[in-house]
Amino acid sequence: MKSVSVVIIGAGPAGLLLGQLLQTSGIETLILEQRSPDYVLGRIRAGVLEQGTVSLMRQAGCAERMDKEGLVHHGTALMVKGQMHRIDFQDLTGSSVLVYGQTEVTRDLMAARAACGAPTIYEAEDVSFSGLDTENPIVRYRKDRMEHQIRCDFIAGCDGFHGVSRRSIPANVLKTYERVYPFGWLGLLSDTPPVDDELIYINDRRGFALCSMRSHSRSRYYLQCGLDEKIEDWSDERFWDALQERLPATHQARLVRGPSIEKSIAPLRSFVAEPMRYGQLFLAGDAAHIVPPTGAKGLNLAASDVYYLWQGLKEFYHHRQTEGLDGYAVKALARVWKAERFSWWMTTMLHQFPDQPVFETKIQQAELAYLFSSRAAMTALAENYVGLPY
């Protein structure tokens, strides 16, 4: 039976980044991905990278295009009751974020893996595991109607929220924690210039909106929408009109409309699965946790999980020590829960909750008023947004 040191399930950013970092440490991997490369690249998701994620891309040797094309942002704006409030990351934390789309991160990682010849099996079907609680678990999958099995030392479950890895942890071991929000995000991507040099998070009485970007000529916009909304009911024109209404007066004339390249609705949830390890299976990224995108943490949490797992595997293969792997779940979850808190806080502060008690609305208004009146409060927002230390 074929064997490999680490089998990675999922060729999203978590799986690919882990694969590249292990590659730089001389640790052999095989990635199994259920979809095609084009399908993976077609999903439009995150847009903001923390410095930790940027640093890992550089350590993985995949940062050339990111460093050339990424946009350094030293702050962001929150618009409340028509008033713009800038959160100055540089002044408050001395740090910044990089605007560079997840699609491009994934493309760079895919290209690097192909260039080094490390194997990725795309369109691998029915992945399953056995012997997770033994020294050498077995991974099974089907490819082109042929059944395959691989013996390995470790399995990295980087297969996202709907993957097989979390489901492979016994129900009497796995605990999950969840909050589902009463709205979703309707996103649109267009080859039009952004309305501002930085992102704008908008708390408007008609609903939340976010003005983001991928470059100086490609914009990414989001509108809070009902869970019953259907994408086919949202023409481009209806989207642009709704966005225009929620923009501050200073920016309405700047809005450049154009045909949507992509348009989708995503539900918002906070979700954490514990433990992030079972036997030789380690969960990383969306396989273990989901955050509402309001805090721009999803992709960046996947990166910090990958960092901890990379360090633990490096220690094992280079020094036969297991301290890093044994401490992985506790260390990763400590950072996960802080990001869950921040993402929940940003979401409850900036969205409309029409059915909530008036008291909650009053608290939301007080939260915002305090935030903009206190350097300490704005510093707390900024240090979470640019990324807490690993």
The residues of the shown chain that bind ligand PHB, judged by CB under 6 A, are: 46-48, 199, 210, 212, 220, 293-294, 296
Nearer to ligand FAS, 60 or 362 (CB): 60
Nearer to ligand PHB, 23 or 347 (CB): 347
C-beta of 294: minimal distance to ligand PHB in Å?
5
> Which tokens is 321 given?
């020590």
Nearer to ligand PHB, 248 or 293 (CB): 293
Nearer to ligand FAS, 128 or 252 (CB): 128
Site string for ligand FAS, 196-235 (x = CB under 6 A): ----------------------------------------
Binder of residue 294, out of ligand FAS, ligand PHB, none (CB less than 5 to 8 A by kind) = ligand PHB
For residues 378 and 247, what is the distance between their CA atoms, to the nearest angstrom?
22
Binder of residue 152, out of ligand FAS, ligand PHB, none (CB less than 5 to 8 A by kind) = none
Single out the residue of 154, 146, 157 nearest to residue 124, CA to CA.
Answer: 146
What single string gives the DSSP state of each residue in 188-206?
EEESS--SSSS-EEEEETT
Tokens 């960046």 appear where?
300
> Which tokens is 74 given?
């030293």
Nearer to ligand FAS, 158 or 213 (CB): 158
For residues 186 and 223, what is the distance between their CA atoms, to the nearest angstrom?
5
Residue 297 appears among annotated catalytic residues:
yes
State which of positions 87-146 bind ligand FAS (CB under 6 A).
Answer: 102, 124, 127
Strands 75-80 and 83-88: antiparallel
Residue 68 appears among annotated catalytic residues:
no
Residue 201 appears among annotated catalytic residues:
yes
C-beta of 199: minimal distance to ligand PHB in Å?
6
For helices 328-350 and 298-319, the axis angle rounded to 10 degrees is: 170
C-beta of 284: minimal distance to ligand FAS in Å?
7
Cα atoms in the Cβ-side hemisphere of radius 13 Å centred on 293: 26
The answer to whether residue 387 forms part of the interface with ligand FAS (CB under 6 A) is: no
Supply the Cα-derived Rg of the chain in whole angstroms: 21
Nearer to ligand PHB, 32 or 48 (CB): 48
Binder of residue 9, out of ligand FAS, ligand PHB, none (CB less than 5 to 8 A by kind) = ligand FAS
Q: Give CA 116 to chain center in angstroms.
A: 25
**Segment interacting with ligand FAS (CB under 6 A) among 59-67, 298-306, 322-330, 350-358:** 298-306
Nearer to ligand FAS, 121 or 363 (CB): 121
CB 12 within 8 A of CB 160: yes
Exactly one of 181, 221, 293, 317 is catalytic; which is it? 293
For residues 231 and 254, what is the distance between their CA atoms, to the nearest angstrom?
25
Q: How many CB atoms within 10 Å of residue 256?
A: 13
Residue 148 appears among annotated catalytic residues:
no
The answer to whether residue 266 forms part of the interface with ligand FAS (CB under 6 A) is: yes
Residue 375 DSSP class? H
Taking CB under 6 A as the criterion, the residue among 110, 296, 336, 381 binding ligand FAS is 296
Single out the residue of 260, 352, 343, 344 nearest to residue 295, CA to CA.
Answer: 343
Q: Give Cβ neighbours of residue 16 (< 8 Å, ≥ 6 apart).
A: 31, 106, 109, 110, 113
> Which tokens is 359 given?
């008291």
The answer to whether residue 163 forms part of the interface with ligand FAS (CB under 6 A) is: yes
For residues 343 and 337, what is the distance between their CA atoms, to the nearest angstrom?
10
Positions touching ligand FAS (CB under 6 A) are: 9-15, 32-35, 40, 45-47, 102, 124, 127, 158-160, 162-164, 266, 285-286, 293, 296-299, 302
Cite the active site residues.
73, 201, 293, 297, 385
